[in-house]
Amino acid sequence: VMCNIWSRYRENPDMDTEELTLGDIEKFIIDNRDELSEVRGIGLTGGDPLLMRRDFVQIVKTIRNNLAGVHLGVQTNGLIPELAYERLRQIISFYPDFSLAVSLDGIGETHSFIRGTPEAFEKITQTIKYAHDLGIKDISCGMTLNKYNYKEIKEVQVYAQKLGVEFSCFSAEVSDYFNNMVNNEFLFTDK
């Protein structure tokens, strides 16, 4: 209910051609290496690159090889645990300090409803367990607040602690970037 950027790609599949290629990313890094030398952290997001970019492992490797001093991490919805596990396994083989942030927008059915995916809550829980199994130390959960979940903040915080991960809350953004300009799902009720 908070981000409909995926619908742009479904409605207009040619938008995939607007994505940066692995070559584009590598060229940008090499061409701007001096300017990027002061960067200490890069968070990879945008939809869900961990799950949707077939070349995600190569992207991480390219950044790591060219910007050795930068800390890398990814933000994921965690909805395909087995794919997340496989890609994370490959990444930590050459970069064990990789960070993972997983969206957790409610407990049980609340999270599944917000994500529009049956069993989404169970899937993200499995993704987090896989990350622990792989030895990833820096794992966090982010909760984007909206009218459906704001009353569950404490419950989500407790659940994140139970999973052994950090917890953060975010205010929902309404913007063209998220393709949600006509969506009032973020407005809190007076109750």
pLDDT for 174: 56
pLDDT for 4: 65
SS3 sequence of 7-59? HHHHHCHHHHHHCCCHHHHHHHHHHCHHHHCCCCEEEECCCCHHHHCCCHHHH
- Say yes or no to pLDDT of 30 above 90: yes
Q: Which residue has the higher pLDDT, 185 or 97?
A: 97
Evaluate whether 57 touches 90 at the Cβ level (below 8 Å).
yes
Model pTM score: 0.86
**Does an H or E element contain 74, and which?**
strand 71-76
Give me the chain's average pLDDT, please.
88
Burial of residue 144, with CB atoms counted within 10 A of its CB: 0-12 exposed, 13-18 middle, 19 or more buried: buried
Residue type, position 37, single letter? S
**pLDDT tier at 180, thresholds 50, 70, 90:** very low
pLDDT for 14: 78
Mean pLDDT of 97-121: 96
